[in-house]
Amino acid sequence: IKKQQQDVLGFLEANKIEFEEKDIAANEENRKWMRENVPEDSRPASGNPLPPRLFNDSRYLGDYEAFFEARENNAVYAFLGLTAPPGSKVGEPPSEPQS
């Protein structure tokens, strides 16, 4: 979990994407908020959703796997619901191979 959190935070910081980190280990309010805002179909069969979970305000975006997939597809800004900065490769859909 810690490695995944560091991976997400490192990416956001490196790309100067503003974010608010919420610690659910030490703050019961944050833990309750996350449980309430992760959609039913994105929760584990048993137990509580584990971090990292990404939100844009209170809109649930996905878990680490969804973030990782968006990053691999150069679609992180779209995943986060943000406009990619001009010239950014990390917001454009993958280009079609030229024949």
List the domain boundaries for the chain. 1-98
Q: Is pLDDT at 80 greater than 80 in this prediction?
A: yes
Question: How does pLDDT run across 18-49, given as a tens digit for each residue?
Answer: 999 999 999 999 999 999 999 999 998 888 88
- Encoding tokens for residue 53? 């979970």
CATH number assigned to the domain covering 1-98: 3.40.30.10
pLDDT for 99 = 47
All residues at 6 or more sequence positions from 62 whose CB lies less than 8 Å from its CB, including other chains: 42, 53, 54, 70, 79
Q: Is pLDDT of 73 > 80?
A: yes
